[in-house]
Amino acid sequence: MLPRLPVYILISVLVLLVQGCTAESSKKSPPPRPPPPPPGDPSWALGLHLYRALRSDPSSVNTLFSPLLLASSLGALGAGSAGTTSSQLQGLLGTPASAKGGAGAAKLLSGALKSFTAANGTSFRLHASSALFSKQAPPVSQKFVKESQATFRLQHRPLGKGDSKADLKQLHGWVKAGLGGLEGAPLAAEVKPKAGALILANALRFKGLWEREFTEGTTDHRTFLGKKYTKVTMMHRAGLLHHHEDVENMVQVLEAPLCEGKASVVFLMPFHVENLARLEKLLTLELLSKWLEKTSVTSLSISLPMVNITSTLSLQEQLSALGLTDAWDQKAADFSGMSDKSKGKLHLGGVLHWASLELAAQAGKGGAAPEEEIIGKPKLFYADHPFIIFVRDNATGALLLMGALDHAEGEALHDEL
């Protein structure tokens, strides 16, 4: 017969057992593999083509835009268009020139917008707005306005009868509100909308909340080897993350989950210090999908710059080069789905885009402490030179943000790249 144990010993044993179970259950399992880019998703079809078009300009620095917001807004325009204007908009989004194809794209985009909105405050902090401004145009039908708002979250904002300065003031006021109070950078080219012009505008500000935070004690000042060598704050931590090395193409791929795994940030970085031209020539949806599929859970020591990537874009030239030509021509444009009196009058006068992405140390509410199990000697992902970055939704696979960091603000040392 076993001896009777004192009550305080029994309680101590129970407490130790419970603590052991809790510790075991709280061990961080490796992050699940996010889904591949969904076939036929307009945010990916538009995102990669537009990224390459933007980066073909050698003067582009720190390019950033939201494929999801832009594709959704163009999808709304497609729903209000007809004839070749409609065909060109559907071609831009990689959808068949048929009602069924357009409806399928609308469903994908609408679902992704809802998914990202639901994750706001958990996986990231997001301010996002899309609007269609019209200048002395025929009345836009209430049916189009309501459907665009419900499906694509596209507002309609008439511009006043004032001059271009008044129009720009109204636009920048809207941008500041859309960016959550952040001042949007002025446009390089002045916008002068004429009567009948439609100005499509997107504004997005994003700050990811990591699944595991970078603590204040793991930051220091290092050199970022970009277009200018600058001193920046680098944040460091170690953990288990999805990672792949393409030795043939000399590219590292890192996928870092945000809090609760609802979204993730992907980094594409050359092995060595160089500008991004070589990597960008490789970039296709097929190769990118292959890289993402080949990532595996790896013990990593990662270092990222604490930076804000911002971009202000006027996209007429790039969208025209990608096949959207009739929409800008007052005689050829057909937006008869917006207004019975619109044919020959309504036309696109501009597509404007403001975007901001902040890389910071903070994790989401309830995010795990930075300590994490390390297996063996960790590999190094040291982002001290230019990289491509994008953010995708892990529920729908949609592409929220895509861009590049060529230059990090800081104390300049000397020019190199």
Q: Can you give the pLDDT at residue 94? A: 86
Residues 342-381 have pLDDT tens digits of 555 899 999 999 999 999 988 877 655 555 556 678 999 9
Under the banding of pLDDT at 50, 70 and 90, the label for residue 317 is very high
Instruction: Give the start-end residues of each E strand in 179-307.
Output: 197-208, 210-212, 219-225, 228-246, 251-257, 263-270, 296-305
Average pLDDT (185-194) is 71
Task: Tell me the C-alpha distance between 328 and 170, whole Å.
Answer: 22
Which range, of 56-60, 87-91, 126-130, 240-244, averages the lowest pLDDT?
Answer: 56-60
- Select the more confidently predicted residue: 400 or 374: 400
Dihedral, CA of residue 172, residue 173, residue 178 and residue 180, to nearest 10: 110
Taking domain 211-306+368-415, whether its CATH number is 3.40.50.10490 is answered by: no
pLDDT tens, position by position, 332-341:
999 999 986 6
Region 101-117: mean pLDDT is 87
Q: What is the pLDDT of residues 133-167, one digit of tens each?
A: 998 878 889 999 999 999 999 999 998 877 778 88
Q: Kindly list the domain boundaries of the chain, sorted by start residue.
A: 42-208+309-357, 211-306+368-415
At 20 the pLDDT is: 40
Distances (CA, A) of 411 to 48, 54, 84, 233, 283: 32, 27, 51, 11, 32
Long-range contacts of 323-332, Cβ-Cβ distance < 8 Å, separation of 24 or more: 323/88, 323/91, 323/92, 324/88, 324/89, 324/92, 325/88, 326/83, 326/84, 326/85, 326/88, 327/77, 327/81, 327/85, 327/88, 327/89, 330/196, 332/84, 332/85
pTM for the complete prediction? 0.88
The CATH class of 42-208+309-357 is alpha beta
Tell me the residue length of the chain.
Answer: 417
Confidence of residue 26 (pLDDT cuts 50, 70, 90): very low
Instruction: Decide if pLDDT at 202 tops 90.
Output: yes
**Closest by CA position to 399, among listed 66, 35, 40, 54:** 66
H-assigned helices in 27-163: 42-55, 67-79, 83-92, 99-119, 142-152
pLDDT for 212-250, tens place per residue?
888 756 778 899 999 999 999 999 999 899 999 999 999
- Say what the pLDDT of residue 21 is: 35
